[in-house]
Amino acid sequence: LGLGDLGANGMGIAVGKSMLYTAAAGVAPSQVLPVAVDAGCGTAAVRDDPLYVGLRRDRERGPAYDALVQELVQALRARYGKSLLLHWEDFGSSNAFRLLKKYQENSLLPTFNDDIQSTAAAVLAALLGAVRISGVAPLTKQRLLFYGAGQANLGAAKLFVTALKNRGVSETTAKRQVWMMDSKGLLTSDRKDLSQQKAEFARTPDELNISSDSRKNLLRVVMELKPTALIGAASVKGAFTQEIIERLTTGLQQGNSPVVRPVVMALSNPLTRAECTAEEAIRWSGGAAVFASGTKFAPVKKTSGDEIVPSQANNSLIFPGIGLGCLAAGATRVTDDMFYAAAYAVAQATTEEELRRGSVLPSVKRLRDVTVSVAAQVAEQAQLSMVATTTPTGALGCLETAISESAVENSTVFDAELECIRSLQYSPNQQR
Annotated binding-site positions for (S)-malate: 269, 314
In order of 163, 330, 390, 399, the CA distances from 406 in angstroms are 21, 18, 17, 10
Q: Give the rounded distance of the alpha carbon of 286 from its chain centre.
A: 28
CA distance 297 to 294: 9
CA distance 290 to 332: 38
Residues that constitute the known binding site for a divalent metal cation: 89-90, 115
CA distance 139 to 251: 18
- SS3 percent helix, strand, coil of the chain, rounded to 5, is 50, 10, 40
Report yes or no: 265 and 144 within 8 Å, Cβ to Cβ: no
* Helix intervals (H) in 32-92: 44-47, 63-80
Residues that constitute the known binding site: 89-90, 115, 269, 314
First-last CA distance in the chain = 36
E strand or H helix at 146: strand 144-147
Residue 83 contacts by C-beta under 8 Å, 6 or more apart in sequence?
392
CA distance 84 to 234: 33
The DSSP-derived string for 273-300 is G-SS-HHHHHHHTTT--EEEESS----E
Coil, strand or helix at 87: strand
**How many helices and strands, by DSSP H and E, does the chain display?**
17, 11
CA-closest candidate to residue 232, choices 165, 281, 279: 281
CA distance 250 to 320: 39
CA atoms within 13 A on the CB side of 70: 10
Angle at 98 between CA 92 and CA 103, to 5 degrees: 115
CB burial of 348-375 (b: ≥16 within 10 Å; e: otherwise) equals bbbeeebbebbbbbbbeeebeebbbbbb
